[in-house]
Amino acid sequence: MTGTGTSDSASPAGPTRNGSGAGLSTPRLLAILFREEWRMHTELFGGWRFATFPVVIAVLTVGATVALLETGTDPGTVVGGLHVLALGFGLYSGTAGFAGSDMLENVFGELSLLLSSSTMLPLSRRRLLGVFLLKDALFYGVAFVLPMALSSAVLEGLSASALPSVALFWLSLCLVFAAGMATTVALIAVRTQGVPPWAIGLAIGVAVIGGWVTGSLGSVRAVFVPIDGSAIAAGGLAVGTVAVATVALAVYDPTYGRPSRTATDRFARLSGTLPLENDALVTKTLLDLARSSGGVWKPFVSSTILLALVAALVGVVDSITGIAPASGIFFGGVLGLSAFTTYNWLTQFDSLEAYLTYPVSVEDVFRAKRIAFVLVGAPAVAVPYLAAVLWFDATVVDAVVGAVLLAGYALYYYGLTVYIAGFDPNEFLFDAVRFATFTVGVAVALVPTLVAGFVVVPPSLELAAALGFGGVVMGIVGIVLSSRAGPRWDARYRTE
């Protein structure tokens, strides 16, 4: 992530002869970046709301670990799942150093970041980026990964060796987190050398398929769960992470820009295809998504990734308990969570303030986002859901109920997100109060559904009717929340 430092970011560097920022030591630069990061989060969330976020993470991970162990889940599965979460967060965090200034200014307004000061100050862009990524690894290693490591005390039991176990588990998670960051940085660096995204995706796909065919994927756990592997494997992962990060920084081209393209009148063409009146705001939202990196495929990719994770979870549960859940109910309830990522894609490069100069109301803007969400989100989850129910041989009743749950829960999750977070769904991920509220809101709908999907397989007509009714009710709640989000955030912007 980045920060809101201004004067502190610019003043310490001083002039240098070679333009590399030699007059500013790495520890000093690291300290300024840490202060910048803290200022950003405290400005965005308020000091105590961000400071207590690690507590929320600790409560959730420790509570989930206790619940999984009580239901008979193998401790090794819990350990592996926590490492997957750390790896995923590392992959996400690796993009922070490359976030565009336009996207950040949508959140903070005009700002001057130390990371972007290499164009104005004698600081090496590569060195600055390297120190920035080191700062992120240390900062989130404490703020996010350390609370996760407290689960080790539950896995090992409270004893004299609990503290060393937590420390070792934390180092294992941090190593995987850093590996995820380095991987993302390497992919972005390759992209700056002109390699097209489809070639990168094809290479990753070939590697995964090759590993699956040769059976080498089974050895992945020994590498990416260092605490369960050998010291040699952990050392190899550490050396490999450093090597990949070093090469990526050397390959990264800070002057790279996307090639210029001739733009056609896509707005008029897209507007003409929508069966809506006064749909300029909806058209703008869809066009912004289409023009962004990844385009309209991003919501489909997010839903597909969620499908793969849920499918793996079904296999794990089946192997542990010998019970496969009702696939339609299970996938319908969980795939609805893609509403959060879809809405995030629709607002990522947008800000509500930008609309205040136009003769439109805040409520109109939220209404347009809701329509765009339905147009994009419906096919993005329908295709993965259809694939899931066909692959897992869901019964007709199970598939129909799951479809109702998917539609209703997606609307509910969307309404919950937009009501809590407004135009900035990604922000409240580090706000303890909003994150806890969102988590409770999701659990209220999802947990009883998943439990019901395990108890009666296949679902009886009575259970199917009850779940279907619940899905409709949650969908109505979501519509109400999303319709009230416009007036709620309009009032907040008027008072700020």
Average pLDDT, the chain: 75
- The answer, yes or no, to whether residue 411 has pLDDT greater than 90, is yes
Q: Which of 161-165, 175-179, 388-392 has the lowest mean pLDDT?
A: 161-165
Instruction: Work out whether the CA dihedral 84, 171, 228, 77 comes out positive or negative.
Output: negative
Helices (H) and strands (E) in the chain, counts: 22, 0
256 plus 270 within the same structural domain: no
Best-predicted range by mean pLDDT among 28-32, 120-124, 306-310, 361-365? 361-365
Number of domains forming the structure of the chain: 2
The predicted-structure confidence for 43-90, as pLDDT tens digits, reads as follows 666 666 677 778 888 888 888 888 777 766 777 778 887 888 888 888
Tell me: do 213 and 282 sit in the same domain: no
Examine the pLDDT at 480 and tell me if it is beyond 50: yes
Choose between 427 and 327: higher pLDDT. Answer: 327
Q: Which alpha helices (H) appear in 392-460, and where do they start and end?
A: 396-421, 432-455
* Cβ-Cβ contacts under 8 Å for 44 (sequence gap 6 or more): 50, 107, 108, 427, 430, 431
Q: pLDDT at position 474, please?
A: 93
> Is 117 contained in some domain?
yes
Q: Is the pLDDT of residue 413 over 90?
A: yes
Q: What local confidence, expressed as pLDDT, does residue 103 receive?
A: 45
Please spell the DSSP secondary structure of 331-400, one letter per residue.
HHHHHTTHHHHHHHHHHTT--GGGGTTSS--HHHHHHHHHHHHHHHHHHHHHHHHHHHHHHTT--HHHHH
Print the domain residue range for 323: 262-496
Quote the percentage of the chain above a pLDDT of 70: 71
Shared-domain flag, residues 289 and 140: no
146 and 293, same domain (yes or no):
no
Regarding whether 294 and 205 lie in a shared domain, the answer is no
With 0-12 CB in 10 A as exposed, 13-18 as middle and 19+ as buried, what is 494?
A: exposed
Please report the pLDDT score of residue 406 as a whole number: 92
pLDDT in tens, 203-237: 777 776 766 666 555 566 666 777 776 778 788 88
In a domain, 12, yes or no: no
Lowest mean pLDDT among 19-23, 260-264, 338-342: 19-23
Token readout for 143 is 């703020």
Shared domain for 70 and 201, answered yes or no, is yes
pTM (2 d.p.): 0.67
- Give the confidence band of 10 by pLDDT, cuts at 50, 70, 90: very low
**10-14, 110-114, 441-445 — which is least confidently predicted?**
10-14
Q: Quote the pLDDT of residue 404.
A: 93
